[in-house]
Chains A and B, each alone.
Chain A
Amino acid sequence: MLLSKNSALESKDNEIFEVEESIAIQSELIKTMTTMVNSKAYVNERNQMVPEARCRKQANYHVEQNNKIVDEELSDWESKFFEVDMDDLHELFMAANYLEIESLLNGVTKRVGDFIKACKNVEVIRQTFGINNDFAAQQEEEIRKLNSWNHI
């Protein structure tokens, strides 16, 4: 039986995280670099773009994900993990996008979808996300006509 190897990842703020290799390679980016570099511990220079908080969150995410074998436990834990505000979700998204971690990305997008679902109408969506309405009155009217079946 193979002992799990640990990879050392350095973040932007020069903090080094040791993660089990099987977890580290959940990131497509790291996986590609590992196969190229092939060493037990390496410093990922490009990873210096990722601030410390994000890295720590990812490492936690994967460790916990691997620990939770039972589906119910996992989905409970996942809902709690993503119960953060838009700023944090954005951070998670940037990290998941950069490191190319599909499961994390899916979690973030689902959660943002939940946010949108919870909004009663378009005005509430704009307020929740801080989006500016840049439509001309006529354009808005056009869209409402096309969507008369949807009552927006």
Chain B
Amino acid sequence: MCVEDRISSFPDPILCHILSFLPIKEAVRTSIISTKWRYLFASISTIKFEGYSMSGLTDRNMDSFKNFVYRLLKSPDQVRLDCFRLSHEICSWNDGDHDFDISGWICAALCRGVKEIELQLSYLDDILPAVLFTCRSLVTLKLDAVGHKFKFPSDVCLGNLKTLHFRDSFFGDSIHRLISNCHVLEDLAFIECDFYNISKINIQIPSLKRLILDFDLGESGGLDYVVVINAPNLVYFQYTDVVAKGYTLSTMKSLEKAHITICGCDTIDSQTIATHLIQGICNVRSLHLTINEEIFRTSRLPIFHNLIEFKFLGRGFSGREIWLMEFLHRVAPNLETLTLNFSVAAGTQWKALEVPSCLSFHL
């Protein structure tokens, strides 16, 4: 059976595009197929080094690998690079003996006008070049930097950045310099991060549509900072933290979904503060809330005119949830779906609840 060679008649840019879907090892492997394929891999638009690509590396072939990466990133530098990704396995090789020039690799990717960079790196000291934070081509930047404390210089500016994600990192006041110089930012996330030595977390981004503030819940006492958010076009908001010193949120008319977890709301004062956050999201359509349900008894909540779905996780229900009635009748008059998650103490007796007929009830 003789198969006709159809694939070699595809134009080179299409073949490069095909190779971009492959893990880097497979893409490079094609260089030995035939003379037509020899240099195609060098123009792939996506360069990803993940765990799999590092398998098979030994001390002996390490130099060959480093040379390869250098050549791949450096040339041809007139061909634009779309995506550059490094995962944490690289770090396990980046000890004193082997010394990968990760900073050099990042610079080379930036020179090729890279649009998306995703780095999972531990021990980031001195690895991130300053030019990373003044790059005009970057649209997406995701940094997972185990325990790194970020300090940004004053000239940071990522004018085309739409997505910025940080994971497992620490930030001081200098983060505000970066955020305020990302004028088209739409998606901002701090996941498992922490802020230190600041009095205010200040997020003023008119273009923002998605915001995740997911902080470590290790703090036992109250926090020292207030949270100020001015993001009138926000569509999705996720917030997980111990209750802050105060909250100021601008009106969010387009807010579709909010996932809010506030811990440490044990006093009336802290519950009052938490109410300010809840007030800020009162236009939301779907709300997942985890909080001490005392807040419903002690604080007057705003009316949620648009709320059609509400999911609540509380500490435990006593079976006489009068606050729930008030919630259903006054606070969320248009609610369609209610989901309650709770642990029930043995022997709890439920009093009959009068629920609006249009409500579907999940326990």
Contact = CB atoms under 8 A, between A and B. Distances in A.
Interface stretch (B20-28, B146-154, B210-218): B20-28
Contacts of A67: none
B62 interface: yes
Q: Please classify how large the interface on chain B is, using the bins under 10, 10 to 19, 20 to 34, 35 or more.
A: 35 or more
A147 B64 contact: yes
Contact of B34 (A109, A133, A144): A133
A134 B36 CA distance: 9
Given A86-B6, A116-B30, A131-B5, A149 B18 contact: no
Interface residues of A, number: 39
Contact of B68 (A87, A105, A122, A146): A146
A127 B33 CA distance: 10
Interface string B6-49: 11111100100111111101101111111101100000000000
Interface string A111-150: 0111011000110011111111111000110011111111
Contacts, number: 104
A151 interface: yes
B32 A86 contact: no
Interface string B198-235: 00000000000000000000000000000000000000
A151 B62 CA distance: 13
Given A148-B64, A150-B25, A131 B4 contact: no
B61 A149 contact: yes
A61 to B, nearest CB: 18
A90 B2 CA distance: 17
Given A113-B19, A147-B28, A130 B62 contact: no
A93 B9 CA distance: 11
Contacts of B25: 150
A149 B31 contact: no
B32 A140 contact: yes
Contact of A144 (B32, B65, B68): B32
Contacts of B130: none
Interface of B: 2-11, 14, 17-23, 25-26, 28-35, 37-38, 56-57, 61-62, 64-65, 67-68
